[in-house]
Structure 1
Amino acid sequence: MWSALVNRREVFEVFLGSIKAIELRIRQSSKLILESGSDVLLVWESDPTLRPIFPILVVVAEEDIKNTLSAIAASPQSPSPVTALSRFLTPNEAKRHFDDEPLEFDERIFPALTALAFSEAVLHGDGRIGIKQLSPLLCRRTLSFAWGKTVASRVDGDFLLELPSRWLEIYSILNSSSTNAVAQHVVDSFVGILSVLTQVGLGYRPETAAGALAYELLNGNGDAQERAWEILGSKLTRFIKIEALQSLAREERGSYLQDALRMMSVGSAGEQFELAAACAFLATRLAPGSLEHLEILRSHKRPDLLAWYGLFAALQNPREILSLYGGLGFRLSRDMLQVEDKLSPPSADIAYSELRMLARGNLESLVGRIGHSSELQVELIPYVSTSFTFQTKNRIKRPDSQQSLDVELPEPELSTRARLAQMARELSYIANELTENREDYFFSRKTRKRT
């Protein structure tokens, strides 16, 4: 790779097509060297003096990145969106990608992440799309898919904590207000369950009964699974052991599920969250290796119920779930596991930071500059892109301050083991926080129904 340290004025000249002022400072190097200060680091994949190419990386101070993007966008001669050609990183982001040791996740969680994308895509369809009508494109428009790509990239765990709020913000920018409420409700339910699965992937046994069962389904033997299920199912009016349940006829197993579903409207939101997981697990035992009861569960209008159903089904029968619907899961899992090279140009149409900036003005200017008229590939965090529906007539403007999930990021340097432990605690906190907040949502719905 080739690199050069330049000032802000020279950055603008580079994106106007001229490198004359910096030619003598361009050096070939084998390692990315990050330096403190106000200078901007430009990185090319090949010698820019031999052919006209834009830098693949632009490392600019965090306090300057917005102004730099704005200044480039203000020039009619500069490329737009510029983040489709060059990846803009802060020094902290560059360090986390190039210097920090990558996290290690258990790859056996990817079928469950794929199944979560199935369930989430159905819910975003709001009754218009069934499980059999899903396509890879629809599934790639989910937070679950973006979460899976982030896990696959093995980046610093703090990026996962930033992902939900960024996904919701971009969704709200690009879609109408009528769909935003549905997306918010779905994502609020899924983030807690995605957090639980990520803890399992990091090798931690979650403290919740539902998370403990997920852990044992992935790692435990039959006895450990029975013990975890006994704790989760303890609040059911009719409890039955896993082994005993499987010995019953399908109709008898179904009666246990129906009894459990009737209980979900009783108790606090936290209790309902655990009951939803218990119902979902019972549903997976009616037709193991399938998702044929997803449509029935959807009628209960509980996103967490569908999320747990997909997760438990895939943890128990991963290959069968991936094979459903013509191998849709294998196709989606392949896309989820495709990781971008650190020193390759961006593959997305635009990055999160530039899209937020354009959304304050005229986002319609993107029409004609992207690959598909109704589809936008957005790089939500560095090296992780996902798809969004792009219909300018339906979009609404959201204020910059409107965020859905605000998580403070840790600042001190930590060892890899310490970072894993801290991330697991953060994910557990998110799951618990969302469960508590969901109680307000359920009770407000009940109040509205009475009035």
Structure 2
Amino acid sequence: MRADLFSASYTKDEKLVKTYRVEQSDSISLPNVIVPQSDTLEDLFATVATYYPDQSPITALIHVLDGEMERSLDHSATPEPRSCDVLDSRYRKASLGAALGEAVLAGLSVSESVSSTPSYSAVRRTLAFTLGRCQHLYKDLVPFEHLAMRWMQLRDMTRLGYTQPVVSAVLRVHELVRPSSARPSDFADIELIQGVQAFVRGDDLDGKLIEAVIRKCYPGTAAHLRELTGVFDDRMKAFIRLVEIIQSKSLGTEIDEVAVAFVCNRILPSSFSHVGVLLPLIEFFPAALVWYGFFSTLSKPSKSTSVNFGLLLKLERDLFEPFSYKQRPRCDISLDELEVLSRVGLRSEIIKPTQQRVLLVSLLPGIDIYTRFGGESETSSDLLARRNALTTATHDRVAALLQEALETLRSGPARQSKEFSVSAAGKKERKRSR
């Protein structure tokens, strides 16, 4: 007889699983954290699903860490409430701004009409928001590229779209604003990097350094840049001319996107209300909206309007949501366990999702993201009910068509004979008159 999976007694042929428990435990007689050996993570999820189905998915009850994430137990993944200085606030705004632009672009894949301000739930699902949350919890412990790969993996598993240029732009934004990050060697213009980083720090709130780089890199833009601060009715003409110059004197897609987003924000700083201007330019500047959101949230608010402040407040609240390994997971399942269980087919009665057709998935402890849950994961009863509804609707439609056809057939010959007799009588009358 095999030892219990979480028991201290084991045989030599069994592999160890590290467990961590809190002193004042809850009513669940399971550890708070377990760290399997690196090559047994998939076996753990499969074993629990097979022999302990009442505890599956196990990641809804226990934080399951690999060897790398085990270091976070002694790291700031259990941060105490702390005050944030001005610099932290601007880094946070930069992350949320990129998330706004990313959410707008994501909405294009599901709808032809896009609102200038995306919904709260759409922003919460973005990679930019996820990276901002990661920065708060783990600082430099988790590479952004690693988390981005997990985010894309979840999107692929749930058949949700994303584009590589947008992912690259979001990573670049966080690379530039991360306090400890070095200057990226693969960015073509060092002066532009310095200008963006000074803008993020608040050392250049008006963006004069970035504007100087644009004037230098794209000759002929100086006059039109001045027009962006002049009469409002002339600003759109100036923006169109600036886009034409940037396209004709392109320095590469990435730099061009930063330049276009910067001048677009200059039309009405901090408003994020000119999304519609950039949408037709996605073919040429696929990630400019990410940078437009970035500049909008970091710019000094204009007199007339600014980015939805209530939306930003709620998102900031979520970025700082307390997390501790002393608490049980709040997710429905982790990404790693979702991948293993999806191989044998997912059913809602096993996963027990938070909401119908919506799954809360943990990319890393404390970093949970909502995604859709359905399609192949529907239960047989769900499929049967939907099939019956479709069948009933089809039968009703066919019956209505048949009824209409019968009425046409019944009335057709009588109407034709009546029309014939009337026309014949008319001919007789005309003959007599002659």
Rate the CA distance shift 1:295–1:157 in 2: closer, same or farther, 3 A.
farther
State percent identity of aligned pairs. 21
Is structure 2 residue 198 aligned with structure 1 residue 216? Answer: yes
Q: Give the 5 Å matches for 1:20-419.
A: 39-46=16-23, 51-75=27-51, 77-98=53-74, 106-126=88-108, 127-128=111-112, 130-132=114-116, 134-175=118-159, 179-180=160-161, 182-198=162-178, 201-202=179-180, 208-219=190-201, 221-222=203-204, 225-240=207-222, 244-245=226-227, 247-263=229-245, 265-266=247-248, 271-301=252-282, 302-317=285-300, 324-325=307-308, 327-365=310-348, 369-393=352-376
Rate the CA distance shift 1:263–1:389 in 2: closer, same or farther, 3 A.
farther
Rate the CA distance shift 1:241–1:82 in 2: closer, same or farther, 3 A.
farther
Counterpart CA distance in 1 for 2:305 and 2:312 is: 4
Q: Give the AA of the match of 2:273.
A: E
Q: How many residues end up aligned between the 2 structures?
A: 360
* Structure 2: runs of 5 or more not aligned: 379-434
Q: CA deviation at 1:216?
A: 1.5
Q: Give the AA of the match of 1:44.
A: R
Cα distance per residue 1:395-443 (max 9 Å; x no partner) = 9xxxxxxxxxxxxxxxxxxxxxxxxxxxxxxxxxxxxxxxxxxxxxxxx
> Could you say which residue in structure 2 is the equivalent of 1:419?
none
Rate the CA distance shift 1:389–1:318 in 2: closer, same or farther, 3 A.
farther
Counterpart CA distance in 1 for 2:256 and 2:96 is: 23
Counterpart CA distance in 2 for 1:231 and 1:143 is: 29
Counterpart CA distance in 2 for 1:51 and 1:220 is: 49
- Determine if contact 2:131/2:147 at 8 Å carries over to the other structure: yes
Flag the structure with more relative contact order, 1 or 2, with Cα contacts below 8 A and sequence separation at least 6: 1
Counterpart CA distance in 1 for 2:78 and 2:55 is: 33
Q: CA deviation at 1:329?
A: 1.3
Q: CA deviation at 1:344?
A: 1.6
Rate the CA distance shift 1:253–1:294 in 2: closer, same or farther, 3 A.
same
Q: CA deviation at 1:353?
A: 1.0
- Which is higher, the Rg of structure 1 or of structure 2? 2
Say what the alpha-carbon RMSD is for the aligned residues. Answer: 3.6
Q: CA deviation at 1:352?
A: 1.4
Counterpart CA distance in 1 for 2:143 and 2:125 is: 19
